[in-house]
């Protein structure tokens, strides 16, 4: 089977796309309130941006969704699963993928192997299949390789397929991490500053990939980003955090004209 560049390869069941709703979440580290009473909801197939000054609690919120942090109050529902009580490794099984702010790739493996690890939850082969490589194990491996190849095509990283990730340039590593998240075949992707430290050209590329993934694959996207131009351009809705408090939520235009937001954030930057 040959895929067009944008067609999502549906060999395994695509993860169902649920709405994500954060309900009254509060997170404290000792006396520091990282998040206080944050509520927001992300609709399926939406591009949802979370913005805010440094230390506003954006990554903490993402970590709560991922189950890495446990908020003291509130709940986070994905479909009807409460993510607060879900161990981090179950997230991938629910169809939620994540790319980290500081790249967390398997630096000792090649790009291809990194992407294959994204297929981990879809692999059935056990030790016996591995021993008898021919047969079921091999067929399965070919299917996963085909999926990976498709993601490689989509992100245009054919030329670095066999290279060790640790030796790649920063921009390419970010792209590989996005690719690995895609290999989970997720319904929701959490992107933590996917364009940080990139030049204009690289940013353009990432924006294009994010839009492709959202439109062609129908994946819901939650992203944290500092580049206001990009955020206002591609997001359907934007949430603004400041000191752990949600101070604005709405379409880019609504947020841009929200006086609290202007005062807290945009005002200082744009004047």
Partner 1 sequence: MTTNTKTETLKPSIVEKIVAWVRANVLLCIVLVVLLGVMIAMLRQAFSSGSEMQKFIRLTYAGLTDGSLLALIALGLVLVYKSTDVINFAHGEFMVIGGFVGYQLLVWLSPNMNAPLAVILAVVGMVIAAVLFGILLERFVLRPMIGEPVISVIMVTIGLSNVIAAIVGLVWGNNAQRLPIEALPNNLFNESGRFEIPFEGARRPLFLGHENLMLIAVVMLVTIALLIFFQRSKHGIAMRATADDQQAAMSMGISIRVVFAFAWSLAAITAALAGLMIGETSIGVSAQDIPVVGLRAFPVIILGGLDSITGAIVGGLIIGLVETYTGGYIDPSLKEIAPYILLLIVLMIRPYGLFGQEIIERV
Residues that bind partner 1 (CB under 8 A): 66, 68, 87-93, 97-98, 100, 104-109, 113, 116-118, 120-121, 123, 125-127, 129-131, 133, 137, 164, 166-167, 180-181, 184
Closest CB 145 distance from partner 1, rounded Å: 14
The token duo for 270 is 């744009």
The CB-of-103 to partner 1 minimum distance in angstroms stands at 9
Instruction: Tell me whether residue 31 or residue 124 sits nearer to partner 1 (CB atom).
Output: 124
Q: Are strands 237-242 and 245-250 parallel, antiparallel or unpaired?
A: antiparallel
CB of 99 to partner 1, least distance (A): 9
CA distances (Å), 127 to each of 22, 60, 138, 215, in order?
40, 38, 13, 38
In whole angstroms, the minimum distance from the beta carbon of 245 to partner 1 comes to 27
Coil, helix or strand at residue 178: helix
Indicate the residue among 27 and 246 with the shorter CB distance to partner 1.
27
- Return the closest-CA partner of residue 166 out of 156, 176, 158: 176
Q: How far is CA 219 from the centre of its chain?
A: 10
Closer to partner 1 by Cβ: residue 130 or 257: 130
CA atoms within 13 A on the CB side of 173: 20
Question: Which residue, 91 or 246, has its beta carbon nearer to partner 1?
Answer: 91
Query: CA separation (Å) from 96 to 18, 34, 41, 108, 186?
Result: 10, 23, 15, 25, 5
CB of 189 to partner 1, least distance (A): 11
Least Cβ distance, residue 55 to partner 1 (angstroms): 21
Report the residue number, 57 or 67, with the smaller CB distance to partner 1.
Answer: 67
Query: Could you tell me if 82 and 247 are in contact, meaning their C-beta atoms sit under 8 angstroms apart?
Result: no
Residue with Cβ nearer partner 1 (123 or 232): 123
Task: Return the C-alpha torsion angle 212, 215, 221, 225, nearest 10.
Answer: 50
């Amino acid at each position: 089977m040959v895929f067009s560049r944008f067609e999502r390869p549906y060999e395994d069941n695509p993860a169902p796309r649920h709405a994500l709703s954060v309900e009254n979440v509060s997170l404290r580290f000792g006396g520091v309130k990282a998040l206080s009473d944050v509520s927001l909801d992300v609709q399926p197939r939406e591009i949802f941006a979370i913005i805010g000054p440094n230390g506003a609690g954006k990554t903490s919120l993402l970590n709560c969704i991922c189950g890495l942090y446990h908020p003291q109050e509130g709940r986070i529902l994905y479909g009807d699963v409460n993510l607060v009580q879900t161990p981090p490794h179950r997230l991938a099984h629910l169809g939620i993928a994540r790319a980290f702010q500081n790249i967390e790739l398997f630096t000792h493996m090649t790009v291809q192997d990194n992407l294959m690890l994204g297929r981990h939850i879809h692999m059935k082969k056990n030790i016996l299949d591995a021993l008898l490589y021919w047969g079921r194990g091999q067929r399965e491996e070919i299917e996963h390789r085909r999926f990976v190849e498709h993601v490689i095509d989509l992100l245009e990283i054919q030329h670095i397929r066999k290279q060790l990730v640790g030796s790649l340039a920063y921009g390419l590593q970010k792209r590989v991490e996005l690719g690995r998240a895609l290999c989970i075949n997720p319904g929701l992707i959490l992107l933590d500053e996917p364009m940080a430290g990139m030049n204009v050209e690289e940013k353009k590329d990432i924006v294009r990939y994010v839009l492709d993934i959202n439109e062609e694959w129908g994946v819901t996207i939650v992203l944290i980003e500092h580049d206001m131009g990009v955020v206002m351009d591609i997001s359907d809705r934007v949430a603004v955090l400041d000191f752990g408090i949600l101070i604005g939520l709405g379409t880019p235009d609504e947020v841009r004209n929200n006086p609290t937001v202007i005062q807290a954030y945009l005002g200082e930057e744009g004047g």
